[in-house]
Chains A and B, each alone.
Chain A
């Protein structure tokens, strides 16, 4: 009896689902023609799972309609779902799926495969011989990319004269979008701000030294966030600079995902490539210039002279402040002893005549 019920439920819903799909195959609602949002638009669609984890399945319809994926049908990514209400989904979405969308000037369906290949080779990609906890700790696509939301970019490079020439042959809506899509990417390596990049790389990951230490990273790498923040780059970014180097500026090319360990030839911070990397921002980069330590820790063993200077500067700072404070305190005690009172009146802070007679 139990069993039959479920078969029936599933049958009903499957039927309904596919009738719905068929009926709406030509619908104007671009992505959600199967009306998945009927349920998923609700904030509390979710549950506490068997391990006590809160799982929320809400997809905010107003936000989704403004994301870059708004034209992708839900099941292009969520391929496991075949009936309604669907069973719990056990497999993650594969970001390398092909979706049923052809980009302009392309004969192939769109997919993220290429960038995933680059990523998989990088230091962050999961390798077959990684231990389990390292696999778990490596960032996956979704860790860094929440469904990107379209932001309106004021794009000066969109020269209206150039765009007008495109319009001689192309339709306005499509071509201005494509034009902006390209020029937008001519500015920075990423559309995130420097501050966001630094936070993304450090918070939860590279800053978490206990976690990083588990994976036998070098001492230099372990301290990288700390030393970056002390460096001129780190300080400028912390103060809001949009020009100074963040993590990605130096550690990846324009493919952004090709981060490698320093001693690998592919790495942008490998000795052989350093010059080119610095030249992205600095002019006249010499062999001496690239020797400057960007992630500089100032310890006694590593840099005795700088360390000495730092300690001396500390003495000067504390020395000045505390000497001045000390003098003021001593003066106050002395005057009180002499029986002179404090006041803020008649052009003086001290009133009365000293016991010593002056």
Chain B
């Protein structure tokens, strides 16, 4: 033993070099394994297993929906701009069953009504108001208790004449009950007990039962929302100024002014739009 020279520690740099070599070796090994197992350049040893697993998880409905969405991009032609979406769990209960495009029945207005869901909550039009309480419209954003704006569509860009571009694209106009100084939301959220309960059991319900449950969500919901004239009128139920719409914008919305030339709103007001179909 005594004859052996004592070994010294390596300098730190040697460990660094060693580490680099180990990383390279590991990378090569991983690449080789990938080449052997899954890469379509190699012998594909594990590809059958992978396809088998994928096949099991595959949903034809899901695939078709995705495929259609993709084709829609090609069909649409007018470049669809990306638009932020509210996270699923922060949406009101209505979205458990309805989509952003809930209106489909009446040909003349369905697309127009769906357009309004971008900046209104469903309740803003569909709330069966409690006659004893005063309702107030205000901007609402589940991610922000006191949204400040500037909000979508409240003003024009003076340069282009287009609507101003805003960062807050998710706030919507909603309806509140005024109780003293406080505003009480009328929206049922997905964390309401009834919603949580429903999500738990929804796959087990028979169609009849489901129909019954549906009614529970619709207790304070009118089957038909407000008519156009309720809002697009000088005596609008909306206080456009308080909702921070600019004067230009307010006038255009009150009169639904197609060109700025026609000021007779009565021409646009279609008292019988909702009958028939």
| Residues in chain A within 8 A of chain B (CB atoms) | 1-2, 5-6, 8-9, 12, 15-17, 19-20, 23-24, 29, 35, 38-39, 41-48, 53-65, 67, 85, 87-88, 93, 142-143, 145-147, 149, 204, 226, 230, 314, 317-318, 321, 325, 344-348
Given contacts A44-B118, A88-B107, A146-B74, contact A58 B80 (CB under 8 A): yes
A12 to B269 Cα, complex, angstroms = 9
Q: A5-B275, A61-B163, A204-B70 provided; 7 other pairs, C-beta below 8 A?
A: A9-B108, A20-B259, A42-B115, A55-B72, A56-B76, A146-B76, A347-B10
CB neighbours (8 Å) of B198 from chain A are none
What 1/0 flags go to B113-150 for Cβ under 8 Å of A? 01111100000000000000000000000000000000
Instruction: Give A23's nearest chain B residue, CB to CB.
Output: B261
Distance to closest chain A CB from B16 (angstroms): 13
Show 22 A/B contacts (Cβ-Cβ < 8 Å), sorted by A: A5-B272, A9-B108, A15-B267, A20-B258, A23-B259, A29-B161, A39-B111, A39-B115, A44-B101, A47-B101, A47-B103, A54-B69, A54-B72, A56-B80, A58-B80, A60-B78, A61-B162, A62-B160, A62-B162, A63-B79, A146-B78, A318-B32
A145 to B76 Cα, complex, angstroms = 10
Say whether B219 faces chain A, with CB atoms less than 8 Å apart: no
Kindly identify which residue among A8, A48, A149 contacts B99, using a CB–CB cutoff of 8 Å.
A48
Contact A47 B32 (CB under 8 A): no
Say whether B29 faces chain A, with CB atoms less than 8 Å apart: yes
A146 to B72 Cα, complex, angstroms = 11
Contact A347 B7 (CB under 8 A): yes
A60 to B273 Cα, complex, angstroms = 28
Contact B78 A64 (CB under 8 A): yes
Distance to closest chain A CB from B161 (angstroms): 7
A143 to B108 Cα, complex, angstroms = 29
A16 to B100 Cα, complex, angstroms = 30
CB neighbours (8 Å) of B74 from chain A are 142-143, 146
CB neighbours (8 Å) of B81 from chain A are 43, 58, 60, 62-63
CB neighbours (8 Å) of B77 from chain A are 93, 142, 145-147
Contact B111 A9 (CB under 8 A): no
CB neighbours (8 Å) of B161 from chain A are 29
| Residues in chain B within 8 A of chain A (CB atoms) | 7-10, 15, 28-29, 32, 36, 40-43, 68-70, 72-81, 83, 99-101, 103-104, 107-112, 114-118, 160-163, 165, 258-259, 261-262, 267-268, 270, 272-273, 275-277
Contact B259 A9 (CB under 8 A): no
Distance to closest chain B CB from A340 (angstroms): 14
Contact B83 A43 (CB under 8 A): yes
Kindly identify which residue among A8, A143, A346 contacts B272, using a CB–CB cutoff of 8 Å.
A8
Contact B114 A47 (CB under 8 A): yes
**Would you call the interface of chain B mostly helix, strand, loop, or mixed?**
loop
Contact B112 A41 (CB under 8 A): no
Contact B163 A41 (CB under 8 A): yes
A57 to B270 Cα, complex, angstroms = 23
CB neighbours (8 Å) of A347 from chain B are 7-10
Instruction: Give A60's nearest chain B residue, CB to CB.
Output: B81
A315 to B247 Cα, complex, angstroms = 78
Contact B112 A39 (CB under 8 A): yes
Distance to closest chain B CB from A68 (angstroms): 12
Instruction: Give B1's nearest chain A residue, CB to CB.
Output: A353
CB neighbours (8 Å) of A147 from chain B are 77-79
CB neighbours (8 Å) of A8 from chain B are 270, 272
Among B29, B116, B276, the most chain A Cβ lie within 10 Å of the Cβ of B276
Contact B32 A85 (CB under 8 A): no
A294 to B232 Cα, complex, angstroms = 65
Contact B99 A56 (CB under 8 A): no
A68 to B39 Cα, complex, angstroms = 42
A19 to B43 Cα, complex, angstroms = 71
A122 to B80 Cα, complex, angstroms = 29
Kindly identify which residue among A2, A16, A35 contacts B268, using a CB–CB cutoff of 8 Å.
A16
A5 to B109 Cα, complex, angstroms = 14
Contact B100 A44 (CB under 8 A): yes
Instruction: Give A322's nearest chain B residue, CB to CB.
Output: B32
Contact B270 A12 (CB under 8 A): yes
CB neighbours (8 Å) of B103 from chain A are 47
Distance to closest chain B CB from A204 (angstroms): 7
Distance to closest chain A CB from B70 (angstroms): 7
Instruction: Give A48's nearest chain B residue, CB to CB.
Output: B101
A249 to B272 Cα, complex, angstroms = 60
Contact B29 A321 (CB under 8 A): yes
A346 to B5 Cα, complex, angstroms = 12
Contact A35 B259 (CB under 8 A): yes
Kindly identify which residue among B8, B114, B268 contacts A12, using a CB–CB cutoff of 8 Å.
B268
